[in-house]
A = this chain, B = another copy of it.
């Protein structure tokens, strides 16, 4: 007897009949977010390459492409494979790809789609070049520069210049430019502090472009930026590509970022929810729902409850405990929507994303790249 994870809903199902816990997408809010990004960039020439790590779903990527995206970013080679299989012709693996197993997959993918990858190490440059030579493909490569995120990425200026030179000198690699993502700035609450961090990043990027240019090497692509700061990079005249991901969903944590007026900065709507059900109400003032750590990520805090008058207090593996103002409004079997604290790792817990409009299921999309860890 075989077993397959069942789908929590079918097209046409009433929202109340969708099984729990499930990942819900409010299609009106999602489509509005696609439009809001476009509107926020009106007049700008910056290219948009949304980050597919947020949704892992080719159906969503195709809709981003329809809104003018030039391609997508992925974090893993297998995630990129899933996007190409789903019809996306241009994928940047915005990450280092190390070791022959992963490099060989990347090179194979470069025969089927426009593929680019980041480097921050000379030995890795050599390994990529060798694999590209063997497979007779020219691989697009960007140098990742650390502009304050303090994770991957080579130091700006001379170290980046030397590495760019190594890429440019390799006849099997195509040096395309630099990748400079200031990840540490994305969730900084104050608008002034975010601006300060991105101004500093822009200065470092400018200096690095100038250093690389001294060797006659041109940075055709300057890419980076997330949902928290993309307007700053877009206005920089230095970055020509941005990579927002979370804007389509808006998680609880991004909604805490403030603008210069001290009010929430983002006009994006919460479109992603975890649909959950009251499964126990044996305690006064408390209910237990069926979405815990295996249905939502709590690394950026507990989820918010979309319905009023309830607070998600704590998560265990398969349960969430909520404090409620009026338990009679949340009887056994009642379903409610949770706003995830952090969308990306929440999405990757689910196999399906259930799109709804007017309380009816309109789409059930597979999260094709869920589990694409390699």
Contact = CB atoms under 8 A, between A and B. Distances in A.
A252 to B, nearest CB: 16
A6 B108 CA distance: 14
Contacts of A78: 5-6
A282 interface: yes
Contacts of A332: 98, 121, 123-124
Contacts of A280: 96, 120-121, 151-153
Nearest to A145: B282
Given A124-B332, A153-B282, A349-B348, A101 B19 contact: yes
Interface in A275-291: 277-283, 288, 290
B151 A321 contact: yes
A39 interface: no
Nearest to A121: B332
Given A3-B81, A374-B8, A102 B298 contact: no
Interface residues of A, number: 75
Given A78-B5, A98-B332, A319 B282 contact: no
Interface string A359-374: 0000000001111111
A291 to B, nearest CB: 8
Contact of A101 (B1, B17, B321): B17
Interface string A20-48: 11100000000000000000000000000
A55 to B, nearest CB: 13
B279 A316 contact: no
A3 B74 CA distance: 15
A293 B53 CA distance: 12
A152 B321 CA distance: 9
A1 B85 contact: yes
A19 B66 CA distance: 34
A302 to B, nearest CB: 11
Nearest to A78: B6
B294 A373 contact: yes
A132 to B, nearest CB: 18
A372 B3 CA distance: 10
Contacts of A279: 95-96, 98, 152
Interface string A114-133: 00000011011000000000
Interface string A309-350: 000000111110100000000001100000000101100111
Given A98-B277, A101-B19, A123-B332, A155 B3 contact: no
A271 interface: no
Contact of A183 (B76, B84, B316, B373): B316
A136 interface: no
Interface of A: 1-3, 5-6, 8, 17, 19-22, 53, 75-76, 78, 81-82, 84-86, 95-96, 98-99, 101-102, 120-121, 123-124, 146, 150-155, 183, 277-283, 288, 290, 293-295, 297-299, 315-319, 321, 332-333, 342, 344-345, 348-351, 368-374
Q: Which 10 A-B pairs have the closest CB atoms?
A: A3-B85, A152-B280, A293-B345, A75-B318, A5-B371, A1-B85, A3-B82, A19-B374, A96-B279, A120-B282
